[in-house]
Chain A
């Protein structure tokens, strides 16, 4: 297996006297999908914010492409190639897909006072990138507000990949989606992986994770409970780990294994 793009070792993060992360070890290799599972409050958000440069770890080391690295801002992380798609997607419903796609990073043509937003090129790239992700836009000037939740997610992912993401962090990408939309997003993740991007998939839905993941790391009470490869672990074991082994076995029976 290839070397990890990013390796985070024994990350600790304290907020005052609250210990949010207490020794988390996590890595992502190119072209793999590493799922980070955990229940609410397990520290998933704090961890991805540490990974994407929003927080600085209190203790622990981050190695990016083999070199130790410390991010001072989300911008640093973005420039290094760590893109995060948060739940709000950073999309503006009233603006067109193209304008959202290139928001803050508009291609220009012309010089000096005649430097202008190259809309033709931007439209073309947007259409192409979206087609690669399996979405045929009606028109690139279609407002994002008219897209479905899954399509918006796909725009956000396509945007991150187009702008050179090496690691793509997806924060609960399927939590608000229907069945069909979820399968579209999972297919998008598979496509992104095949381009050699390492995907960090954050979820508390074990079934979605098992559908795309190569490795699974469970976070509980700010600690990693170990990493398992695909095929080494099944849904109910993951579920139990997430809940810290509490009582879930009992619940599982009554819910018929569909949590």
Chain B
């Protein structure tokens, strides 16, 4: 009985082609989408869209959304939703604005404090979800309203009745931390490239694009970090396991509760980061900031290959999902189409992505 049974190769299993293996990557749909959308705009849009200023133009909103989308994707892989991230952008923006303008705190204090408060709200979301066993959809829907309302009321209190808080840019001027969260990076390189005649110049001789907007660097950095965590660390394995089957994960020794709470904290912090970047950039904050961003972030994650049921998805997919989003939003202004087609386009993309992902999932799991 103890003799080794020769492990036979099952003759009914066909060898997988490279194409099939590629098909099984969760981010494939999003990359295909980027290609399709690019082709679409190459045909319909004015060539200005694919010049350097044009690309920076659509990558900037893509980056802001992408920071939220990647966090939302990680949370979705972990099996939960957060509908409160849009409101969290407004709430964190309000807190940040008050800390910087009303309390005159330096960024080195204001940023960690904003992040800590956001993380605490995220942890509260997670705690309620775990404690009550209610779907996160409902719990965070409640926070969508709570945080939006709190931002409105808070702003009115701190500005004596206005829903907008100004003066952020003046308050952070000269702060040593500001260049990390605002403005453009690699300005010197861009000036040099303009002098060499490699990139377009304004009439003054300055480059038409002053540098890489800082949020694009955050976006790329976050996408790489999230991908590394998901695919190459024990935490990544725990996130997939938690979203795939909570009980199986728990029985195998995965700290399911810690994973979920951490993911809720992460999405809230991503929202706070977007708030800080956009508030410094525009110099003011208002209660409508981040409006509808929770849905856009989830759409980004779904286009990026996340399954609504959890346990499957990719951060790189969400990265490309956000780029698609940016291209469509901004790209339509380069075409002769009515810009309001945007939402139609978006809904169509979402539907296509979900149908596509569903088919992919069946292939991966070999469901018949």
A contact residues vs B (CB 8 Å cutoff): 74-75, 78, 86, 88-95, 99, 102-106, 108, 115-117, 119, 131-132, 134-136, 138, 143, 145-146, 187, 190-191, 193-194
Contacts and interface: CB of A to CB of B under 8 A. Distances in A.
A104 B254 contact: yes
B51 interface: no
Interface string B1-32: 11011111100010010000000000000000
B37 interface: no
B253 A115 contact: no
Interface stretch (B105-113, B161-169, B360-368): B360-368
Contacts, number: 100
Q: Kindly name the residue among A95, A102, A187, A191 whose own CB sees the greatest number of chain B CB atoms within 10 A.
A: A95
Nearest to A106: B234
Interface in B200-256: 228, 232-234, 236-238, 240-241, 244-245, 247-249, 251-254
A90 B256 CA distance: 14
B244 A117 contact: no
B312 interface: yes
Contacts of B254: 103-104
A138 B234 contact: no
Most chain A beta-carbon neighbours within 10 Å: one of B6, B237, B249, B361 = B237
B364 A104 contact: no
B232 A119 contact: yes
A190 B312 CA distance: 36
Contacts of A115: 233
Contacts of A132: 4
Contact of B232 (A90, A92, A102, A117): A117
A92 B366 contact: no
A220 B254 CA distance: 36
A89 B245 CA distance: 11
B6, B247, B253 — which one has the most chain A CB atoms within 10 A of its CB? B253
Given A92-B249, A146-B366, A116 B240 contact: no
B240 A99 contact: yes
A88 B247 contact: yes
Contact of A92 (B5, B236, B311): B311
Contacts of A90: 245, 247-248, 251-252
24 contacts: A86-B251, A90-B251, A91-B245, A92-B240, A92-B244, A92-B245, A92-B249, A94-B364, A95-B241, A103-B241, A103-B248, A103-B249, A106-B237, A116-B228, A117-B233, A117-B236, A132-B4, A134-B5, A135-B7, A136-B8, A136-B9, A145-B364, A187-B1, A191-B1
Contacts of A99: 237, 240-241
A134 to B, nearest CB: 4
Given A105-B253, A117-B236, A138 B16 contact: yes
A92 B248 contact: yes
A99 B16 CA distance: 20
A158 B189 CA distance: 56
Nearest to B256: A104
Contacts of B238: 104
Given A91-B248, A103-B252, A194 B366 contact: no
A78 B135 CA distance: 31
Contact of A75 (B5, B249, B253): B253
A108 B366 CA distance: 30
A119 B6 CA distance: 26
A75 B16 CA distance: 39
A247 B4 CA distance: 43
